[in-house]
Structure 1
Amino acid sequence: MELNYHSIEALLNAAKENNCRLSQLVLTQQAEQMELPEQEIYEKMRQNYQVMASCIQPGSAPDLKSTSGLTGGDAYRMRTAVEQGKNLTGPLLGGALYRALAVSELNASMGRIVAAPTAGSCGIVPAAVLTMQEQYKLTERECVMSLFTASAVGMVIANNASLAGAQGGCQAECGSASAMAAAAIVELAGGAPDMIGSAIATALKNILGLVCDPVAGLVEIPCIKRNASGVAGAFVAAELALAGIRSAIPADEVIWSMKKVGDVMPAALKETAEGGLAATPTGKMLHGQVFGE
């Protein structure tokens, strides 16, 4: 089976033509390409999902601290608010927020490294899928399969633009992860292929132009909180698409635009820690706190 990982439209058309979920097409194609049984490919993705799930509890520990000492404990605070019914947006979005923070904070503490698709955007996809599983009582298999759909979206973005903050800014990291998560959410909710396309486009265009400006050069501030906003954006994009709201700009054109924006973005705003929040007085102070003046 031939699948074109250079176009979202081509992927979604293939799903429509075969009258099946995109995830099944991707699994079948990957098994053929790697000359392995589908079950073996599935088990590898299942292991990835289990790693994601294993991050939530330790990532929500109240005493968790990053190696720099700059971050930690926010997932615990958010989770506590959700479990006590004190957050504004209820268990769905609140649950996604604390899970995104948990994976990101555990990553920063060197407890477990999850790249989905990058370490800087590691919490968005896991938080989206794990929250969907909990809130809608989905099976593990449904959730694991949705990761094949998310991965296909990531491959298209990588082939046409970039997943790296150093090349395209944070739009390439948290933006790509948000688009991947939105696609997974729509599939898990039973949405049609065209809805997946609109969700991808909406999620990505809502983070278009986001700079990569890590304070002290570390993937902590503002990266961790951007994971929370990234998964929130994924749910917004999925919600709109599932309601039948179409993106006026197709997903492939949004990805093209992201590439063009990244190309003209100054180097100071692409992971160099020379601009944006990293260049603020507080950002410089925190740099000195970690590395000395």
Structure 2
Amino acid sequence: MAYTSIVELIDNCTDVEELIDRIIANDANERGISCEASFEQMKVLWEAMLASVNNYDGSLKSNSGLSGGDAKKYEDFRRNGGGVVGDLLANLITNALKVSESNACMKRIVAAPTAGSCGVIPAVLITLYNHRKANLASFQPSLIKDENVSKDDYNFTLDDKIVRSLYLAAAVGEVIAYRASIAGAEGGCQAEIGAASSMAACAFAYLNAGNIKQIMHAGALSLKALLGLACDPVGGYVEVPCIKRNVTGAANAVTSAELALAGIESRIPFDEVIDAMGEIGRKMDISLRETSTGGLAMTPTGRQYLPKQD
């Protein structure tokens, strides 16, 4: 897609459907395929996200023994009348845990944008898909500008609209990767969970009828909230604290999008927030960038999970 800034991404677009059509067309052109083929490939990723939740096995444990079964534990807790949060947040928590635990247990996931942050976007989209399906009526988008696509008007299903939101999230993720990083080894966990949360916030705002301005404020607000987050995986495994941070990232995405949809704006433009994240990552000590030589990994309990030296 080759987007280097949010300003460039939204340049000359006043309608979000037009923006997404352009993202799809750019992706297809870059990869030498039709827009329809590009869309079908993105739909496969959406279906894989659904499968990672639907095929969750609460009996599995990771090889390290650090994770597995927490999503089932939380579901049982809710089923027995526990908790004070509403169903949407409860299911957001459950879905983020399911996908992240599936990753730790070596099951199939979508790295969006990374394996360590794989639970954020699916949790947000699948929760919305399941809980607000009736509110997401089909619509007639502007036509994808591609000579290989029929010029007849057509409606998108709910699944198709969510697939379109993934293009929006992907474009935002590309800008973050270009201007800063999406790798914990380069920028700390803010670059992984922060980027995923920002991407998810944009998708959520779009799916709730946000305009371009609101969508980009949602992305900025969510990334701002996680600036400075260290990457300190216990024992070097992408499990503790990574899995629970996926829950935090998903909740942060939804709350940030809600703020933006209410008209609350980020005082710092999105591109500048991304640049600040990149600067913070570069200044972050190497021990807090996925080396497991600082932070939680070096607590007395964390040290117990370090690989044994021969």
TM-score (norm 2): 0.88
Query: Residue by residue, what CA displacement relative to the aligned partner does 1:51-108 show, whole Å, maximum 9, x if unpaired?
Result: 111011333x331211111111111122333455533221211111111111110100
Identify the residue that residue 95 of structure 1 maps to in structure 2: 91
Tell me, yes or no, if the aligned pair for 2:220 and 2:269 is still in contact at 8 Å: yes
1:280 CA displacement: 0.1
Tell me, yes or no, if the aligned pair for 2:16 and 2:212 is still in contact at 8 Å: no
Q: Call closer, same or farther: CA 1:245–1:21 in 2, change over 3 Å.
A: farther
For residues 6 and 268 of structure 2, what CA distance do their matches in structure 1 show?
Answer: 13
Tell me, yes or no, if the aligned pair for 2:232 and 2:291 is still in contact at 8 Å: yes
**Aligned AA (1:170):** C
Question: 2:135 matched to 1:116?
Answer: no
Identify the residue that residue 146 of structure 2 maps to in structure 1: none
Identify the residue that residue 198 of structure 2 maps to in structure 1: 179
1:23 CA displacement: 2.3
Q: Call closer, same or farther: CA 1:261–1:281 in 2, change over 3 Å.
A: same
1:10 CA displacement: 2.5
Identify the residue that residue 62 of structure 1 maps to in structure 2: 58
Q: Call closer, same or farther: CA 1:21–1:183 in 2, change over 3 Å.
A: farther
Tell me, yes or no, if the aligned pair for 1:23 and 1:147 is still in contact at 8 Å: no
Of residues 102, 107, 121, the one that matches 1:125 is: 121
Identify the residue that residue 152 of structure 1 maps to in structure 2: 171
Q: CA RMSD in A?
A: 1.7
1:7 CA displacement: 1.1
1:13 CA displacement: 3.4
Number of positions where the alignment pairs a residue of Structure 1 with one of Structure 2? 287
Identify the residue that residue 11 of structure 1 maps to in structure 2: 9
1:12 CA displacement: 2.5
The 5 A counterparts of 1:135-146 are 135-137=131-133, 138=136, 139-146=158-165
When Rg is computed on C-alpha atoms for both structures, the one with the higher figure is: 2
Unaligned runs of 5+ in 2: 137-157
1:157 CA displacement: 0.4
TM-score (norm 1): 0.93
Tell me, yes or no, if the aligned pair for 2:48 and 2:109 is still in contact at 8 Å: no
Q: Where is the helix percentage greater, Structure 1 or Structure 2?
A: 1
Question: 2:68 matched to 1:72?
Answer: yes
**Aligned AA (1:195):** Q
Identity among equivalent positions (%) equals: 46
The 5 A counterparts of 1:258-269 are 258-269=277-288
The 5 A counterparts of 1:131-280 are 131-137=127-133, 138=136, 139-280=158-299
